[in-house]
Structure 1
Amino acid sequence: MNWNGHDVMAGAPLRLSRRQMLAGTAAAAFVGPAFAATPAGVTIRKVEPVALRHVRLKPSIFADAAAANRRYLLSLDPERLLHNFYLSAGLPAPAPRYEGWEAQGIAGHSLGHWLSACSLAIANGGDAALAARLDHGLAEMARIQAAHGDGYCGGTTVDRDGKTVDGKIVFEEVRRGEIRTQGFDLNGGWVPLYTWHKVHAGLLDAHRLAGNRRALPIALGLSAYLAGVLEPLDDAQMQQVLRAEHGGLNDSYAETYALTGDPRWLRMAEKIRHKAVLDPLAAEQDKLAGLHANTQIPKLIGLARLYELTGEPRQATAARFFHKAVTGRHSYVIGGNSEREHFGPPNAIAGAITEATCEACNSYNMMKLTRHLYAWQPDAGWFDYFERVQLNHIMAHQRPSDGAFVYFMPLSAGARRSYSTAEESFWCCVGSGIESHAKHAESIYWQAPGTLYVNLFIPSSLDLGAQGLALDLDTRFPMDGVVDLTIRKAPAAPTALALRLPAWAHEPRLSVDGKAVSIERRDGYAVLSRRWRAGQRIRLDLPMALAAEPTPDDPTLIAFTHGPLVLAADLGPAAAPFEGAGPALVAAGDAEATLAPADGAHRFTARSALGEPISLAPFFNQYDRRTAVYFPTFTPERWAIARDGYVAAEAERQALAKRTVDTVYLGEMQPERDHAFKAAESATVQLHGRSARKLKPGQSLSIDLARKPGPAVLRVIYWGGDIDREIEIRVDGTLLATERRVGPKVGKFVAVDYPLAAADAARATVSFTARAGEADIYEVRMMTSEAAATV
């Protein structure tokens, strides 16, 4: 069964029609926007992004990021990324595997992102070196798929009876209707459908963007294999499968349908509908609190794509409402969302400004969703959000000096960024990172018939070839707000240029060939319609002002922006510990008045409430500094009363941080995996705005926590209203305590400390068993004893 020659799929012949085989080539050769109608004849997409091949980045911070990213992409060996794939197919692996997540059960997700990132870079410049590397990887994937003979091509693994075995066993069990999940796994495998989606999506990108003819046959083989697994499942079984994180599988099947026209793939895309999450969103209900954020966002991207293909209104309703809810009720000032990967209650972030805010994958996916929504309704407001995220999160997420990436973007006072390593990390945010920084040319320019939209102010050149328009965009943005556009080649017909007027820019100014012109505003754009001449120059001047942005639930907790950029206090080098109090401000009036301009773009100074000088600068490029983004703000009268309490609270926070050795947040995927979570049965629940593990009487769970030599304290977080419970706690098999939760009820979280005798072990296995009533356990923290902390 030869998958290179597009032969056999699940026992049935696979024949690609000439139309299917040429779909990617046609897409690669198309000049100008495509405005496809749904079967009902409705044109959903009103604008399209200009294809990457028409755009080149000029020197800028964005070009620097893309160059660092390209160097990293070229350093990666596809044979090492395919290590587990070879073994799964019974083939010798020609190169060792990478470490980090690639040495764990999720192996393969990095390959999918690498395929997409390489394809984006190739589409944006015909990169011969990357094209050769990509082609070799695809040739090896075709060989691996042929060895399986049934379309399978995967590298995930699963632990069974203490042994690591090929993850294909999970898919075959699901095919037989054997489905088990505790929310973050599928039959014990670490999100195998999430990894499958990354590979599927990467192959489609290699086809559509890089024009590689090997990619689509492999993608169709994958499509058929997984469809053969999922098609026989009834709805209840399917919903059980979809409880496990599955990425944007609905999106990749929808895109496969769009490329081939085969209705089988549309049926699969529609079958992959997680009703527990998507039905409330279609009903415009925000029930996101406690949900793992990045598990949900790709589902909505898939619905958006389905809407474009079918015109089904409920898909659009869910996508729009989700975007509005996340950006309006669940996001931080940099545009990112989630704390420890999870959504909190709506409009409640003041208590969740920590070192684990804003997972990078979330912003990557929210930007993808924004592009869909903008295409339906080309209003500049969508790109106000897109720009906020790109400048303040994505540009902060990669360190351009070495191309390393950040998983969480910490916003708490004194926090520093933790970066990936080249061959030992391979987190999900490394994967989405290599895509994000291959995309800087992707959304600058958009088109509708007769109109070119300029949405991002990124130095670049545009040449639309046969359409007759070429121009240069030159600017120091975001360091200043002057944007120059020079027409190099003018089309014969009159053309409208629509330049985005950001909401942050007050009283923008526009000129053509040095002469001021009045601004014709439309949907947030300055629109210039005329017959252009080569050499004409347009200047857009976007004044930048200082603004304070409070958290929605605490108007005294303030972040500052200057124009498009979020500011942060510089609290010293990342290599040095931060042991002071987080900076607070005293303001008699507007918070902005506490800041004074300093030398340099976007630089300000202030004096903290405790009298220390503060230097503020753009957040994004403080790559190796400790920072503070949010500032508690007091009136003089309030500060006189609150000063002692503030100082004491900051001292307590610092003391807790100093004593903490290790912490696990139960009910959250990555913390559990990092701490060897085990449970025969244990439900993941979201209660009181946090995740937890629920144990019914007789059920147990265990975790491993690091500890230091000497006496220690185990701190467990419970909900104060959970009474009439009895929980047995053991450490390394020895009974530590029997926690009897009795009344009265308290409507808040409570911490219970259990002293541990001195030990020399570096780790401890902690187990919980519910003996009476249901035990909900939220957080477990290993600490040194207070006496040890003072030494």
Structure 2
Amino acid sequence: MSAPTRRDVLCTASALALAACAGPPSGEAAPSPRRAEPLPLHAVRLKPSIFKDAIEANRRYLLSLDPERLLHNFHKSAGLPTKGALYGGWEARGIAGHTLGHYLSACSLMHAQTDDEAVRTRVDHIVRELASCQQAHGDGYIGGTTVERDGRVVDGKIIFEEVRTGDIRAGPFDVNGGWVPLYAWHKVHAGLIDAYRLCANTLALEVMLGMADYLATILEGLDDAQMQALLVAEHGGLNESYAETYAATGEGRWLALARRIRDRAVLDPLSEGRNILSGLHANTQIPKVIGLASLHDLTGEKHFADTAAYFHDIVVNHHSYVIGGNSEWEFFRPPDVIAGALSDRTCESCNSYNMLKLTRRLFGWSPDTRLFDYYERTHLNHIMAHQRPDDGMFAYFMPLSSGARRTWSTPEESFWCCVGSGMESHAKHGDSIYWRAGADTLFINLFIPSEAAWVEGRMRLSLETGFPFAEAVVIAVEKAPEEARTLALRMPGWCAAPEIFINNAKAEPEKRENGYALMRRIWRAGDKILLKLPMELRAEAAPDAPETLAFLHGPLVLAADLGPSNAPFEQIPPALPKGGGMRSLTPLDDMPYTYEMAGAASDSVVLKPFFNLYDRRTAVYFPQLTAAEWTEREAAFAVAQAEKTAIDVRTIDVIHLGEPDSERRHDFRTNHSDVVAFGGKNGRQAWWGVGNYIEFDMAVTPEARFLYAQYWGEEIDKAFDILVDGEKIAHETRPGPPIARFVAKTYPLPEGLFRDRKSAIVRFETKGSDAPVYECRILRE
């Protein structure tokens, strides 16, 4: 069969949005370009569903965090007494403080979504503390970032003052040796804007304007070349924050600065219609384009919309995987390379969070169902997959390689960027269900159980559904005016034969427009709309490998369930027989949305919805193989298993790094490290720098002759020492070339070292790089 690609399915709704933005010539202002606005979060309340479960799990996590600990570096920077110990993970590194900004936004969104007063109290408290920090500085500055100078960790404010003097030494992820200080700054700036808008905290506006002024006095003093040199470093949505500061105040100074914060190296080619994304860090670029979209909203200038719509189009249709996410190892790969870029580090979650923000901007200019087909796909299959609802933890990447599993954050020792954006994503599931076009038309875009108050239209609606695990959506009118109103129902692109009933009678829309069924009438309280959305199985081919397929049931991406995540993956990745396609799948009658896939590996496998396989190993893309190709895979697998067996019989002890049980058994210790994953295995990565370490105890006998360490072959050019009982046995550099598989190296142990010992301390210590290790063994001869 010839399956459509994602590009075929999603088409180019971005281009449709662009066409609808036709306005005055570049540089001329226009009236508001927005044709639709989402109902505000406070006007939407969620009913019981998986989406409300996610909100509740996130609320519990937000309230479990101690604001004083997130404020630690802010107090310290201002010379004030700290009130809580510093958290671990990224909050113990130079980027510290970014989480506080996300936390402010998340609590503000949560209050708007739920009216929860506990989270609002957190917002008010943090804003007061930031005001105190700002007052202590006396110049508008507030910040929590740090930087190392002369072997000491010092306040990151020094970087901002260096930039003020024209001392700018920027790389992709640092400014003057500090880890993305402008990125962290943006998070706090944006958090204060959200506290003002969503919680009506007027002090937040004052504090925000103080910090906006502090940074502005620095940026306004830079010439264009200096500004471009600074913008080489990741700076988040700094242009968006200054645009939104202008929206909040009307002060032209902020708009002028938002225009100047333009990374020409990236945005100029995009404005010319050139796809230069390959090799670029994905989440560095998306916020810059959101900033351009914000400028279009404020000025009506068409060239901002042109660039935003073009960028959206190429990311969605040429750089995204079947779940809607993009990037591999955080970077854009060449256009239409999907099957050739499957790994444990696909689809950084922050990217999807930001792409959905951009999609909302485009939809406001030109409502079209295809934009929300993409939104729904990404929201269901990536955002809902990246929070584990039983404990509210988040996944950084969404791995799509066969046998991979999700690596979850910890409550107090992670604080990755994707934890911060996850706090926000799961505080606002009601923000895009309903969109208003004045008092006349209400768009219903997402099928999430909820109640909505459409104030302008003087209507109140209730939506009931079991979606995505049900095909029926019921919309009840609870309040309606005397005049006619239009309810615009999204007809999803994945549904071939939707049906509409009003008060049990089959109904036809007054007209269809951009994929919407426009239902116009004088509505009465008690009216009910039944929307039936039959779901079917379909396949989508990888654009770079048409024989490699992914499967969807309605809007849900399916995945092979390959067993629990805490069990090793020791099987050949599943595949389809050549030419089998969808004919290889049989629905299981007793398990809705579940299929048996025959001919996959030596046994059949079961396909289920991907998003809620939280603690399972999965496969999403399936190559179609001939019998000879399958035999070749079996032979290679047998060789690998034989090699593993040969190592097993020589093993005295083994630790699987990044695995909680194995680390506990070996009394694992570290000062600064992260759990990483590749090839279906977890590992540990001692942080980049000098003196960061991972260490653990291993059982030994007099027979011990070698230390065996396993590395991922693409992680090269390192510098770390390996020590056993304090004695250096090797300095590892991991020279290239990169190899996309695990590699192992054995290090001889000094003879007689363990004559009278039963255990030894093994330590990997950085000497100018990071140190990622996946498995260690003590081996006999």
Q: TM-score, normalised by structure 1?
A: 0.82
Amino acid at match of 2:764: R
Partner of 1:604: 595
CA distance in 2, matches of 1:728, 1:360: 27
CA distance in 2, matches of 1:481, 1:740: 54
CA distance in 2, matches of 1:464, 1:790: 73
Q: Which has the higher contact order (CA 8 A, sep 6+)?
A: 2
Partner of 1:762: 763
Asked whether the 8 Å contact 1:661–1:706 carries over to 2, the reply is no
CA distance in 2, matches of 1:280, 1:620: 36
| 1:744-783 C-alpha deviation (Å, 9 max, x unpaired) | xx99999999875447742155779xxxxxxxxxx99768
Partner of 1:183: 172
Partner of 1:350: 339
> Structure 1 pair 432/736, CA: closer, same or farther in 2 (3 Å)?
closer
User: What is the CA-CA distance between 1:225 and the residue it aligns to?
Assistant: 0.4
Question: Any idea what SS the aligned residue of 1:559 has?
Answer: strand
CA distance in 2, matches of 1:349, 1:611: 26
Amino acid at match of 1:311: G
Asked whether the 8 Å contact 1:505–1:543 carries over to 2, the reply is yes
Correspondence 1:169 to 2:158: yes
Partner of 1:14: none
Q: Greater shift after overlay, 171-180 or 708-717?
A: 708-717
> Structure 1 pair 784/555, CA: closer, same or farther in 2 (3 Å)?
same
Partner of 1:616: 607
> Structure 1 pair 228/628, CA: closer, same or farther in 2 (3 Å)?
same
Correspondence 1:582 to 2:573: yes
Matches within 5 A, 1:521-536: 521-536=512-527
1:551 to 534, 542, 545: 542
Partner of 2:218: 229
User: What is the CA-CA distance between 1:603 and the residue it aligns to?
Assistant: 1.1
Matches within 5 A, 1:505-516: 505-516=495-506
Q: Greater shift after overlay, 413-422 or 521-530?
A: 413-422
Amino acid at match of 1:609: A
Asked whether the 8 Å contact 2:54–2:426 carries over to 1, the reply is yes
CA distance in 2, matches of 1:614, 1:139: 56
> Structure 1 pair 575/164, CA: closer, same or farther in 2 (3 Å)?
same
Question: Any idea what SS the aligned residue of 1:214 has?
Answer: helix
> Structure 1 pair 461/728, CA: closer, same or farther in 2 (3 Å)?
closer
Amino acid at match of 1:460: S
Partner of 2:448: 458
Correspondence 1:633 to 2:620: no
> Structure 1 pair 321/77, CA: closer, same or farther in 2 (3 Å)?
same
Correspondence 1:645 to 2:618: no
| 1:209-228 C-alpha deviation (Å, 9 max, x unpaired) | 11111110000001000011
Asked whether the 8 Å contact 1:729–1:737 carries over to 2, the reply is yes
User: What is the CA-CA distance between 1:703 and the residue it aligns to?
Assistant: 10
1:242 to 215, 231, 235: 231
Question: Any idea what SS the aligned residue of 2:114 has?
Answer: coil
Partner of 2:14: none
1:391 to 369, 380, 386: 380
Asked whether the 8 Å contact 1:582–1:650 carries over to 2, the reply is no
User: What is the CA-CA distance between 1:729 and the residue it aligns to?
Assistant: 8.7
Amino acid at match of 1:469: M
CA distance in 2, matches of 1:475, 1:127: 25
CA distance in 2, matches of 1:580, 1:195: 42
CA distance in 1, matches of 2:479, 2:734: 77
User: What is the CA-CA distance between 1:739 and the residue it aligns to?
Assistant: 11
2:404 to 406, 415, 418: 415
| 1:683-718 C-alpha deviation (Å, 9 max, x unpaired) | xxxxxxxxxxxxxxxxxxx99898999245798979
| 1:374-422 C-alpha deviation (Å, 9 max, x unpaired) | 1111011100000001101111111111111111111122212111111
> Structure 1 pair 251/655, CA: closer, same or farther in 2 (3 Å)?
farther
Amino acid at match of 1:276: A
Partner of 1:564: 555
User: What is the CA-CA distance between 1:43 and the residue it aligns to?
Assistant: 2.9
Partner of 1:541: 532
CA distance in 2, matches of 1:323, 1:388: 15
Asked whether the 8 Å contact 1:705–1:782 carries over to 2, the reply is no
Asked whether the 8 Å contact 1:113–1:198 carries over to 2, the reply is yes
Amino acid at match of 1:84: N
CA distance in 1, matches of 2:685, 2:38: 40
Question: Any idea what SS the aligned residue of 1:529 has?
Answer: strand
**What is the CA RMSD across the aligned residues, in angstroms?**
3.5
| 1:156-201 C-alpha deviation (Å, 9 max, x unpaired) | 1111111110010010011111111232111111111100000000
| 1:222-276 C-alpha deviation (Å, 9 max, x unpaired) | 1000011111111111111111110000000000011111111111111111111
Partner of 1:473: 463
CA distance in 2, matches of 1:656, 1:305: 56
CA distance in 1, matches of 2:684, 2:540: 36
Question: Any idea what SS the aligned residue of 2:170 has?
Answer: coil
| 1:703-740 C-alpha deviation (Å, 9 max, x unpaired) | 98989992457989799xxxxxxx99996799989999
Amino acid at match of 2:32: T
Q: Greater shift after overlay, 209-218 or 753-762?
A: 753-762
1:504 to 494, 513, 520: 494
CA distance in 2, matches of 1:749, 1:426: 28
Amino acid at match of 1:232: G
CA distance in 1, matches of 2:169, 2:30: 42
User: What is the CA-CA distance between 1:125 and the residue it aligns to?
Assistant: 3.3
> Structure 1 pair 79/783, CA: closer, same or farther in 2 (3 Å)?
closer
Question: Any idea what SS the aligned residue of 1:507 has?
Answer: coil
User: What is the CA-CA distance between 1:107 and the residue it aligns to?
Assistant: 1.1
User: What is the CA-CA distance between 1:563 and the residue it aligns to?
Assistant: 0.2
| 1:496-528 C-alpha deviation (Å, 9 max, x unpaired) | 100001100011111111111224321011110
CA distance in 2, matches of 1:728, 1:496: 62
Question: Any idea what SS the aligned residue of 1:470 has?
Answer: strand
> Structure 1 pair 264/532, CA: closer, same or farther in 2 (3 Å)?
same
Asked whether the 8 Å contact 1:504–1:544 carries over to 2, the reply is yes
CA distance in 1, matches of 2:110, 2:320: 30
- Structure 1's unaligned 5+ residue stretches are 1-35, 680-701, 720-726, 769-778
CA distance in 2, matches of 1:211, 1:437: 21
CA distance in 2, matches of 1:739, 1:396: 34
> Structure 1 pair 319/714, CA: closer, same or farther in 2 (3 Å)?
same
Asked whether the 8 Å contact 2:96–2:146 carries over to 1, the reply is yes
Asked whether the 8 Å contact 1:712–1:783 carries over to 2, the reply is no
User: What is the CA-CA distance between 1:460 and the residue it aligns to?
Assistant: 0.4
2:478 to 488, 501, 510: 488
Partner of 1:266: 255
CA distance in 2, matches of 1:738, 1:463: 61
Question: Any idea what SS the aligned residue of 2:382 has?
Answer: helix
CA distance in 2, matches of 1:550, 1:655: 34
Asked whether the 8 Å contact 1:197–1:248 carries over to 2, the reply is yes
Question: Any idea what SS the aligned residue of 2:171 has?
Answer: coil
Alignment: residue pair count: 705
> Structure 1 pair 653/488, CA: closer, same or farther in 2 (3 Å)?
farther
Question: Any idea what SS the aligned residue of 2:122 has?
Answer: helix
User: What is the CA-CA distance between 1:465 and the residue it aligns to?
Assistant: 4.0
> Structure 1 pair 717/477, CA: closer, same or farther in 2 (3 Å)?
closer
Amino acid at match of 1:643: W
1:377 to 366, 383, 396: 366
CA distance in 2, matches of 1:586, 1:415: 22
CA distance in 1, matches of 2:742, 2:30: 59
Partner of 1:31: none
User: What is the CA-CA distance between 1:557 and the residue it aligns to?
Assistant: 1.5
1:195 to 164, 184, 189: 184
Partner of 1:774: none
CA distance in 1, matches of 2:110, 2:221: 39
Question: Any idea what SS the aligned residue of 1:158 has?
Answer: strand
Asked whether the 8 Å contact 2:236–2:284 carries over to 1, the reply is yes
Asked whether the 8 Å contact 2:339–2:542 carries over to 1, the reply is yes
| 1:604-646 C-alpha deviation (Å, 9 max, x unpaired) | 1122433313111111111111111111223xxx2x2212222
User: What is the CA-CA distance between 1:600 and the residue it aligns to?
Assistant: 2.3
CA distance in 2, matches of 1:327, 1:716: 30
